[in-house]
Chains A and B, each alone.
Chain A
Amino acid sequence: MGNLQKSEPSLGFVIPVYSSVITLLIIVMTCVELCDAVTVVDVYRLVQYDVGGMPFGSRLAALNHHAGSAVLSSGAADLSRTVLILPVRELNLTFIRESIGWRKPLGGLLLLLPLDFSPQDTENIGEADHSSAKQLVKEVLVELEQLLIHANIPYPVYFGFEDDDVNSVLADVKRNDATGQLATATTGGYKLVVAAPEPKKIASPTISNTQGWLPGLKADGGSNQLPTIAIVASYDTFGAAPALSVGSDSSGSGVVAVLEIARLFSILYSNPKTRGRYNLLFGMTSGGPYNYNGTQKWLHSLDQRFRETIDYAVCLNSIGSSSNELWMHVSKPPENAYIKQIFEGFSNVAEELGLKVGLKHKKINISNPRVAWEHEQFSRLRVTALTVSELSVAPELLESTGGLSDKRQFVDEASISRSVKLVAESLARHIYGLEGKTIDIFADNSSLAVNPSYIRSWLDLLSATPRVAPFLSKNDPLIMALKKELTDHTVEVNVQQEVLDGIFTFYDSTSSRLHIYQVASVTFDLLLLLGLGSYLIVLFSFLVITTRGLDDLISLFRRPPSRKMKTA
């Protein structure tokens, strides 16, 4: 009997309980959309360095803030706890200039580069890519890089790539920002976390100079020291993101040219009948962006008597762009007879190849520490030298040093082949005394032809290896590879290790992993707690009513007064 009575009132309570649970679930679900799993991306940090104690670059590495997009940049919102995700393709440079110039507080900056600038992109194009969109991005990158390198930025700046995960996150963030609400702890959204330790100074960064030697043919009975011709290139780079600075043109093309010239002359010099009466010295120096510090140290390490035997030195800078014009930069005045002779030799060969070579003179100022061209280091030690480059104007400090925009797809390997032929042919005609004669020593389709696949493979290798000198260890695989390659072609290969001069100080932590989390707001958690609390209370009451009766439930709340009444 009692059970029958109990079952009826209980049925009446099932429906409200069920409906309240459902409405609770609906409320809770509207606060946060269903999300996808956490994303992890590789990101590369802006360089951090000091010049003579003055700080430059991004000074922080750890990141832990909510994400925002370019939509917020126009508003006057407080962005000091927001990380802005800005794709470089749609970048507004004035915004960056203003926020850096006026030192606006920002939680962090994540700049997204197009996917074809990625080091994993192995689709190499034989011809240089000249599409206007890419050129536009390249120009933006050059300007952005100069802006970021010369600024002191108190928040972390990272470079990433526009892959699918990041793009979907960015689209979501843009949609949320369009509502005008900033993503903070109370509203939920995406959180970007980079767990990196405090960046430390790199103590005594080493620069490694490699040299190789091809001895010439000593005349019988002659005890005179043979003259030497030096061919050098600087192989290291510097850019806004050291982990991405592959410098295909800015020093990759020079290195490839030196290696190819070494290979060609080693073939010629292997046979004593074709060995010239000049020694050849091949050098790959480091420390290029830092006023050619490595070249200076290397030259000082050479014996002075030996230095005096250097007839002239040819330094190769960027020679990879597809224009037909090259420049020879000299520090001795062009009226100098020797310079005239060398220039004439180059011009003759250039004419045959369809290239145009111009001569540019820049006086060196010994009191000025700025060294714009590599040949100036030779000139300071009174060695005649010249630089062959496609650049017509001397670059400023840390400009054109193989940064973000200097990628494989912008380099034309046919141009490098042509420039190699130009230099090799001019040198050979000088060495063998064939000036003025139109003899093609390194003719195409001969055994001495310039090998395009050799150039391509080395160019591809260099374009996939970031080469910022302070971050290269003493036994870095690249340095070992260059040494081995020179050993194949030349003799007496030497690697000289020096410490980079003290004006430049670098900090580590160049690449990290970025974790993107979708976080729920505090409001959501509180609502959930409220919902669960009410659910448990309802469950409790339901069970008490069904098993003990409604009176018991009421008596739970009325116990204290009834006791008082009893005792009274």
Chain B
Amino acid sequence: MTLFHFFNCAILTFGPHAVYYSATPLSEYDTLGTSIKAAVVYLITALVKLVCLATFLNVSETDSFDPYQELLKALIGFIDVAGLYFALTQLTHRNISQCHKFQAVGLGWAFADSVLHRLAPLWVGARGLEFTWDYIFQGLEANANLVLSLSLAALGSLMWLRKNKPKTLIPIIYACAGIVATMPSITSYLRQGLGWHLPKIVGFELFTSLAMAFISWQLFAACQRPSN
């Protein structure tokens, strides 16, 4: 029965990635290679971030919110953005349209993130006899993360790959990209500084991810129009 619970939480955490891949035209164009390359880039980025965190950050005993530490963490979080830039621009992809490229990169990125951060706790914790809601919330968080990664990848591709953008939209694009990139810091501030509990935080993440996805979709569509 507890393996049952583990199975449930696993399909909640990793199912949407597989569903996304098979449902959208990504599977038709066989962009699996791109996704895997993006996942590898994420792993390298995570390692670099880990080294930077270990070097520059001092672990505080209390669970309080320290602005200086959080600022440092946010700066290190921008390494994420750099990694995404690398994946989008530097890797050689086969002839895939931009629309599909950002989706594949975003998908690979989010999948690697879920596996790295959520698989181990799930395997160790969800198989126990005791029931907690934690792993279900973790799965919902993974879903929100997928949407956020896709929107970040979309905005990234807009920023770096698309050369002719309407002038008025450029600041909005950069603003949205900034918000999405600093989302982890905002979440940790809510958890530690304001003391929100897990359900509230997950709800907030879901809501903001959908909102940002919608905004980036509109931006993407708006930028598509001139080329049409």
Please list the residues of chain A having a beta carbon within 8 angstroms of any beta carbon in chain B: 1, 3-4, 7, 32, 34-35, 37-38, 185, 191, 193, 515, 517-520, 522, 525, 528-529, 532, 535-536, 539-544, 547-548
Q: What would be 8 A-B contacts, judged by CB atoms less than 8 Å apart?
A: A7-B221, A34-B133, A518-B131, A529-B7, A532-B8, A532-B11, A536-B11, A544-B23
**Contact A532 B12, CB 8 Å, known A3-B224, A7-B221, A35-B132:** yes
Roughly how many angstroms separate A540 CA and B24 CA in the complex, as a whole number?
Answer: 9
Point out the residues of chain B lying under 8 angstroms from A535, CB to CB. 12
A543 & B132 in contact (Cβ 8 Å cutoff): no
Point out the residues of chain B lying under 8 angstroms from A518, CB to CB. 130-131
Roughly how many angstroms separate A3 CA and B225 CA in the complex, as a whole number?
Answer: 9
Q: Which of A34, A193, A532, A535 has the most CB of B within 10 A?
A: A532
Spot the interface stretch: B14-22, B39-47, B72-80, B170-178.
B14-22
**With an 8 A cutoff between CB atoms, is B124 at the interface?**
no
**With an 8 A cutoff between CB atoms, is B4 at the interface?**
yes
**Contact A519 B131, CB 8 Å, known A185-B1, A529-B8:** yes
**With an 8 A cutoff between CB atoms, is B55 at the interface?**
no
Point out the residues of chain A lying under 8 angstroms from B16, CB to CB. 536, 539
Interface residues of B in 105-153 (CB under 8 A from A): 128-133, 136
Residue of B19, B129, B217, B225 near A536 (CB, 8 A) is B19
Point out the residues of chain B lying under 8 angstroms from A191, CB to CB. 129
**Contact A543 B131, CB 8 Å, known A525-B5, A536-B16:** no
Roughly how many angstroms separate A540 CA and B224 CA in the complex, as a whole number?
Answer: 25
**Contact A520 B19, CB 8 Å, known A525-B4, A543-B24:** no
Chain B residue with the shortest CB-CB distance to A521: B1
Residue of B8, B19, B132 near A528 (CB, 8 A) is B8
Roughly how many angstroms separate A541 CA and B131 CA in the complex, as a whole number?
Answer: 32
**With an 8 A cutoff between CB atoms, is B195 at the interface?**
no
A540 & B129 in contact (Cβ 8 Å cutoff): no
**Contact A536 B221, CB 8 Å, known A34-B133, A518-B131:** no
> Top 8 closest A-B pairs, CB basis?
A543-B23, A520-B131, A547-B24, A517-B129, A517-B130, A38-B130, A525-B4, A540-B23
Point out the residues of chain B lying under 8 angstroms from A541, CB to CB. 23
Roughly how many angstroms separate A100 CA and B23 CA in the complex, as a whole number?
Answer: 63
**With an 8 A cutoff between CB atoms, is B33 at the interface?**
no
In the assembled complex, the CB of B82 is this many whole angstroms from the nearest CB of chain A, namely 29
**B contact face: mostly helix, strand, loop, or mixed:** helix
**With an 8 A cutoff between CB atoms, is B25 at the interface?**
yes
A536 & B15 in contact (Cβ 8 Å cutoff): yes
Point out the residues of chain A lying under 8 angstroms from B4, CB to CB. 522, 525, 529
In the assembled complex, the CB of A315 is this many whole angstroms from the nearest CB of chain B, namely 53
Roughly how many angstroms separate A7 CA and B218 CA in the complex, as a whole number?
Answer: 9
Chain A residue with the shortest CB-CB distance to B132: A35
In the assembled complex, the CB of B56 is this many whole angstroms from the nearest CB of chain A, namely 34
**Contact A539 B24, CB 8 Å, known A522-B1, A528-B8:** no
Roughly how many angstroms separate A315 CA and B178 CA in the complex, as a whole number?
Answer: 88
Chain A residue with the shortest CB-CB distance to B220: A3
Chain A residue with the shortest CB-CB distance to B129: A517
Size category, B interface: 20 to 34
Point out the residues of chain B lying under 8 angstroms from A193, CB to CB. 129
Chain A residue with the shortest CB-CB distance to B100: A547
In the assembled complex, the CB of A306 is this many whole angstroms from the nearest CB of chain B, namely 63
Contact with A along B24-38 (1 / 0, CB 8 A): 110000000000000
Point out the residues of chain B lying under 8 angstroms from A528, CB to CB. 5, 8, 136
Point out the residues of chain B lying under 8 angstroms from A519, CB to CB. 1, 129-131
B25 & A3 in contact (Cβ 8 Å cutoff): no
Roughly how many angstroms separate A466 CA and B140 CA in the complex, as a whole number?
Answer: 52
> Given contacts A525-B8, A528-B8, A529-B7, could you give 20 more A-B pairs where the C-beta distance is less than 8 Å?
A3-B228, A4-B221, A35-B131, A37-B130, A37-B132, A191-B129, A515-B129, A517-B129, A517-B130, A520-B131, A522-B1, A522-B4, A525-B1, A532-B8, A532-B11, A532-B15, A536-B19, A539-B23, A544-B24, A547-B24
Q: Which of B12, B19, B225 has the most CB of A within 10 A?
A: B19
A540 & B22 in contact (Cβ 8 Å cutoff): yes
Point out the residues of chain A lying under 8 angstroms from B11, CB to CB. 532, 536
Roughly how many angstroms separate A535 CA and B13 CA in the complex, as a whole number?
Answer: 12
Roughly how many angstroms separate A525 CA and B224 CA in the complex, as a whole number?
Answer: 45
Roughly how many angstroms separate A34 CA and B133 CA in the complex, as a whole number?
Answer: 7
Point out the residues of chain B lying under 8 angstroms from A548, CB to CB. 24-25
Roughly how many angstroms separate A191 CA and B130 CA in the complex, as a whole number?
Answer: 9
Residue of B12, B20, B130, B225 near A543 (CB, 8 A) is B20
Roughly how many angstroms separate A185 CA and B129 CA in the complex, as a whole number?
Answer: 12
Point out the residues of chain B lying under 8 angstroms from A539, CB to CB. 16, 19-20, 23
Point out the residues of chain A lying under 8 angstroms from B8, CB to CB. 525, 528-529, 532
**Contact A547 B129, CB 8 Å, known A7-B221, A528-B8, A540-B19:** no
Roughly how many angstroms separate A529 CA and B24 CA in the complex, as a whole number?
Answer: 24
**Contact A3 B221, CB 8 Å, known A32-B131, A536-B11:** yes
Roughly how many angstroms separate A520 CA and B16 CA in the complex, as a whole number?
Answer: 25
Roughly how many angstroms separate A522 CA and B1 CA in the complex, as a whole number?
Answer: 7
Residue of B1, B15, B25, B133 near A547 (CB, 8 A) is B25
Roughly how many angstroms separate A539 CA and B11 CA in the complex, as a whole number?
Answer: 13
In the assembled complex, the CB of A165 is this many whole angstroms from the nearest CB of chain B, namely 14
Interface residues of B in 211-228 (CB under 8 A from A): 217, 221, 224-225, 228
Chain B residue with the shortest CB-CB distance to A7: B221
In the assembled complex, the CB of A168 is this many whole angstroms from the nearest CB of chain B, namely 15
In the assembled complex, the CB of A88 is this many whole angstroms from the nearest CB of chain B, namely 28
Chain A residue with the shortest CB-CB distance to B224: A3
Point out the residues of chain A lying under 8 angstroms from B22, CB to CB. 540
In the assembled complex, the CB of B198 is this many whole angstroms from the nearest CB of chain A, namely 11
Point out the residues of chain B lying under 8 angstroms from A540, CB to CB. 19, 22-23
B228 & A1 in contact (Cβ 8 Å cutoff): yes
Chain B residue with the shortest CB-CB distance to A35: B131
Roughly how many angstroms separate A547 CA and B129 CA in the complex, as a whole number?
Answer: 42
Q: Which of B23, B133, B221, B225 has the most CB of A within 10 A?
A: B23
Roughly how many angstroms separate A522 CA and B8 CA in the complex, as a whole number?
Answer: 12
In the assembled complex, the CB of B93 is this many whole angstroms from the nearest CB of chain A, namely 19
In the assembled complex, the CB of B144 is this many whole angstroms from the nearest CB of chain A, namely 12
Roughly how many angstroms separate A490 CA and B7 CA in the complex, as a whole number?
Answer: 71
In the assembled complex, the CB of B175 is this many whole angstroms from the nearest CB of chain A, namely 22
Point out the residues of chain B lying under 8 angstroms from A536, CB to CB. 11, 15-16, 19
